[in-house]
Amino acid sequence: MKHTILTLFVILSLLYSGCEHVKEPHRFTFSGKAQKGPYVAGTNVILNELNSDLGQTGKAFTTTILTDDGSFGLNSIEMTSSLSLITANGFYFSELYGELSGAALSLQAIADLTAKTSVNINVMTHLIKGRIEHLVAGGLSFSQATLQAKSELLSFLGVNEPFDRDFEDLDITEDSEQDAVLLSTSILLQRYTTIWNERASLTAELTYMLARLGGDFSDDGEISNRELIDTLLYNISMLELLDIRDHMEARYDELGISATLPGFEKYINVFQEKHSDYLYTEFTYPDSAIVEPMFPDYPAVRNILVPGDTLFKAGQPYSIAAFIPLNSNLTIKFIGDNSNYNYTISMMSGWQLINEYPQGFVLNSQRSNNLMTMLFYLENPGSATIEYYENGSQTPIFTKQIRWEQTELI
């Protein structure tokens, strides 16, 4: 009898001891947004439960985005761990082009759902995922690993000011400095092209870029591959930042959503300041310019913005070109002195055009630390006034009168 009681006591003790390590399940409810630009309805979102080593437990939950602002939610899901991997896979609204992406993009976020009611998925949560996993495997806690990975990525982006929010709390539609970092990062990761048949592969390029950046970052918390950095700088050199803001504002207006986009342009410049080999410090109007950087074999043509040049030839091609210093902007106003002429504009790179034909046009620079160019034909003989407005000046900092004539030389 004593042997039976002792055996039963040992069994119960072992069972109790084992149960001490079994966590009670908890229910979690949260919402979020999937954003490159905003993901669209039909996007699949999967949550995988993770253990303390960030390994998947095998428990998964799925939902689908039903609106075009990227919003999703999971209600009363039961997990024994608060750690999760959340993946969004679907099409997104492209900030660069003002249209839906040509292919689906997968973005991920690792999050601790403890006391969280919102978890967003974006390019910054995606880029630090591998680094967090590497640091946890090295012995750091999840919170320590996340804090370190966040700090390291911000350092690469050139962001030095205090940053007290988790990346999964950022939102491209909110007007704060930290949200601006997210939107600028989303923008600089993707290439812009005016060549129509290249656009089908852009999301595949973005997927590859994210994988390479994440792989370079995960082991040591640095992105030191110069090819990758130069690719990001090239992406910036082709961006049309005013158009991007217009695209995003129009999209959210179309969705009936009141959104105040953050000042992402600042952090595009911050990245350039950290990584560019050359920074322009003053406005420069070159004697001639290649009018389309994507076609370097196209011959350079004379620039009508050269301050001392006032006489030109009708029927000839010219450029409208300027180097814009970092953190600067330029507006050019071309005002016709009569309406008895016409002009042709084509192959524009870096300018935003407000056309007031035949009276003239306004050009606003869309980049800084870069060359703005445009191919311009002066047709019938005529004259015009050109006004230069640097850094938002209310009055022109320089004005010149030009004329173009049907002569052999100019």
Q: Examine residue 19 and state whether it is found in any structural domain, yes or no.
A: no
> Do 36 and 88 have their domain in common?
yes
Q: Examine residue 3 and state whether it is found in any structural domain, yes or no.
A: no
> Do 347 and 198 have their domain in common?
no
- Of 275, 299, 319, the residue that ends a domain is 275
Element (H, E) at 285: none
> Do 295 and 267 have their domain in common?
no
- Of 207, 240, 275, the residue that ends a domain is 275
Structure tokens that stand for 134 in this block: 């590497």
Neighbours of 103 (CB within 10 A): 14
> Do 264 and 374 have their domain in common?
no
Which amino acid does the sequence have at 265?
E
CA 185 to each of CA 271, 297, 330: distance values in angstroms, whole numbers, following the listed order: 9, 31, 24
Report d(CA 235, CA 313) in Å as an integer. Answer: 36
Burial grade of 161 (CB within 10 A; 0-12, 13-18, 19 or more)? exposed
Terminal alpha carbon distance of the chain: 119
In 3-state terms the chain splits into helix, strand, coil percentages (rounded to 5) of: 30, 30, 40
Burial grade of 282 (CB within 10 A; 0-12, 13-18, 19 or more)? exposed
CATH of the domain at 344: 2.60.40
Answer yes or no: pTM beyond 0.85.
yes
Q: Examine residue 281 and state whether it is found in any structural domain, yes or no.
A: no
> Do 220 and 305 have their domain in common?
no
Report d(CA 120, CA 88) in Å as an integer. Answer: 10
> Do 177 and 258 have their domain in common?
yes
> Do 255 and 294 have their domain in common?
no
CA 147 to each of CA 73, 163, 233, 342, 356: distance values in angstroms, whole numbers, following the listed order: 25, 10, 27, 60, 52
DSSP track, 162-203: ---S-GGG--TTS-SHHHHHHHHHHHHTS---S-GGGGGGHH
Report d(CA 296, CA 147) in Å as an integer. Answer: 44
Q: Examine residue 10 and state whether it is found in any structural domain, yes or no.
A: no
Which amino acid does the sequence have at 177?
E
Q: Examine residue 44 and state whether it is found in any structural domain, yes or no.
A: yes
> Do 95 and 194 have their domain in common?
yes
> Do 138 and 223 have their domain in common?
yes
Report d(CA 61, CA 202) in Å as an integer. Answer: 30
> Do 252 and 347 have their domain in common?
no
What is the residue-level pLDDT of the chain in tens, covering all 410 positions? 545 554 544 444 544 444 434 478 999 999 999 999 999 999 999 999 999 999 999 999 999 999 999 999 999 999 999 999 999 999 999 999 999 999 999 999 999 999 899 999 999 999 999 999 999 999 999 999 999 999 999 999 999 999 999 999 999 999 999 999 999 999 999 999 888 888 889 999 999 999 999 999 999 999 999 999 999 999 999 999 999 999 999 999 999 999 899 999 999 999 999 999 999 999 999 999 987 665 666 788 999 999 999 999 998 899 999 999 999 999 999 998 866 667 888 888 999 999 887 788 999 999 999 999 999 888 888 899 999 999 999 999 999 999 998 866 44
3-state SS assignment for residue 85: strand
- Bridge partners of 118? 31
- Bridge partners of 72? 32
Q: Examine residue 14 and state whether it is found in any structural domain, yes or no.
A: no
Give ∠ CA 308-310-312 in degrees, rounded to 5. Answer: 130
- Of 243, 275, 307, the residue that ends a domain is 275
Q: Examine residue 11 and state whether it is found in any structural domain, yes or no.
A: no
Report d(CA 56, CA 99) in Å as an integer. Answer: 35
The tally of domains found in the chain comes to: 2
Q: Examine residue 20 and state whether it is found in any structural domain, yes or no.
A: no
Structural domain containing residue 92? 26-275
> Do 123 and 211 have their domain in common?
yes
> Do 238 and 326 have their domain in common?
no
pLDDT value at residue 340: 63
